[in-house]
Amino acid sequence: MPSVRMTSLVKIHRVGRQVVRAADGVSLEAPQGQILTLLGPSGCGKSTTLRCVAGLERPDDGEILFGDRVVFSRARRVFVPPEGRNVGMVFQSYAIWPHLTVFENVAYPMDVRGVPRRRIQERVAAALDLVGLGALADRPAPYLSGGQQQRVALARALVYEPEVLLLDEPLSNLDAKVREQVREDLRGLQRRLGITTIYVTHDQLEALSLSDVIAVMQAGRIVEVGTPQALYARPTTRFTAAFLGEISFLSGAVAGREGGMLTIMTPSGPLRCRDAHAVPDGTPVVAGARPEHVTLTPDRPAGAASVFEGTVASALYEGGRVKYRVGMDGLTVLAYGAPRFAPGDRVHVAVDPDQVIVLPDLAGPATRPMAPGSPAGPPPPAPPTPG
Ligand SMILES: Nc1ncnc2c1ncn2[C@@H]1O[C@H](COP(=O)(O)OP(=O)(O)OP(=O)(O)O)[C@@H](O)[C@H]1O
Ligand SMILES: [Mg+2]
């Protein structure tokens, strides 16, 4: 299985006079045998990038290599059409044909290319076994659950034994439970086949749980690339930090270091965090705290590195935990905890110093209210500065 490498990929869409740089200098590698996920908000260029890899779009610039093989290069005037690339693809709307059986759906791409009947039989049976649908080959497609239809689409993508698998939001039509099951199956299948895969989603949970490598995309560009763990725990941009999960941001400035701890002076008081950042004193920074690293207590906890005081603004019961919003001096912090507090309660807010995410404050030293990031979209614009 080859790796897939994109270098300075540009794809421009034109609608009338409007020009959209859907892929705007994308350089990225899907390592051999791994899952690379393109994660980003709607319209950021994920599908366009994937379609360029499949050969369904002709890029305006850049290069795409499968291993050592150039499949697109503007400079070298190479464009290998889709059928010459040996990729399997599941589209955003997975489009299986309702008038065909499971078998016929999976056989379709080979049928239209005139592959001999016996060969088709073998390949389809193997592909259906892979996705656990061997017993349903003769069933008409409409008599399948959503998850089973999804597997048919996947079997159809795999039937050619492709070297590269391209999946564009393949689980978006499934309800939460089935989605989780198919996600696990997909991960297991990908591991077993060792097939180089590019996966597109705007769902951060899906990206975190499926990927070997995540590339965060915004407005046609790659913002950041890393393993799920690295991007979640140590993002280097506010966009990534907010896109990968819920987070509260505190603005402040570095006010000294002592005993391996950095102190950030915020409007709510000093915040201490592990000094893993070569940031000089006085530098404006944004400190991010994920709700699982924020602890609420009625009394001031002994020995905590940084403790603030606040008032519970809301408590949202989520089953295993409660999501609290706590107001402190005009800011809002998110915390997870046991069902213990009600709106209006005064609480102490402790932030785990080992888990604080320190980011450069590109907007400068101004104090901004902490805006919880929306996991389904880019961070909301900062409200006006208080005071
Ligand atoms: N065929 C097209 N013609 C013109 N503009 C297009 C075309 N396809 C996509 N675009 C535009 O290019 C940009 C990127 O679109 P793309 O479909 O790649 O986004 P996406 O990240 O896959 O979004 P979503 O998550 O909604 O599927 C968008 O602004 C979109 O409107
Ligand atoms: Mg898309």
CA 387, CA 370: separation in Å to the nearest integer? 15
Report, as ranges of residue numbers, the positions in the chain whose pLDDT lies below 50: 365-387
Q: Does the beta carbon of 22 lie inside 6 Å of ligand 1?
A: yes
Count Cβ atoms within 10 A of the Cβ of residue 166 and give its class: 0-12 exposed, 13-18 middle, 19 or more buried. Answer: buried
Residue 83 confidence (pLDDT): 87
In CATH, the number for domain 246-360 is 2.40.50.140
Task: Provide CB contacts within 8 A for 166, sequence distance 6+.
Answer: 50, 53, 54, 87, 88, 89, 90, 157, 197, 198
Q: Which pLDDT does position 92 carry in this prediction?
A: 75
For 105-129, write each residue's pLDDT tens digit. 999 888 888 889 999 999 999 989 8
Report CA 60 to chain centroid distance, whole Å.
Answer: 26
Note the ligand closest to the C-alpha atom of 43.
1
In this predicted structure, what is the pLDDT of residue 149?
A: 87
User: Which amino acid would we find at residue 356?
Assistant: V
Nearest-CA neighbor of 72 among 92, 51, 46? 51
Select from 24, 44, 93, 202 the residue to mutate for testing ligand 1; criterion: most ligand atoms less than 8 Å from CB: 44
Are 77 and 58 in contact by the 8 Å Cβ rule? The answer is no
pLDDT per position as a tens digit, 145-169: 888 888 899 899 888 889 999 999 9
Q: Which of 281, 284, 283 is nearest to 256 (CA)?
A: 281
Ligand 1 nearest-atom number relative to CA 92: 27
- In short, whether 330's Cβ falls inside 6 Å of ligand 1 is no
Q: What is the pLDDT of residue 223?
A: 96
Residue 336 confidence (pLDDT): 97
Q: Say what the pLDDT of residue 330 is.
A: 80
What pairs with residue 140 in β-bridges?
101
Query: From the CB of residue 206, how many other CB atoms can be counted at a distance below 10 Å?
Result: 21
pLDDT of residue 94: 65
4-233, what's its fold?
Rossmann fold (3.40.50)
Domain ranges within the chain, ordered by starting residue: 4-233, 246-360
pTM value?
0.87
Kindly identify the ligand whose nearest atom is closest to the C-alpha of 51.
1
pLDDT of residue 299: 96
Helix (H) or strand (E) segment spanning residue 200: strand 196-201
Q: Which of 102, 127, 134, 107 is nearest to 118 (CA)?
A: 107
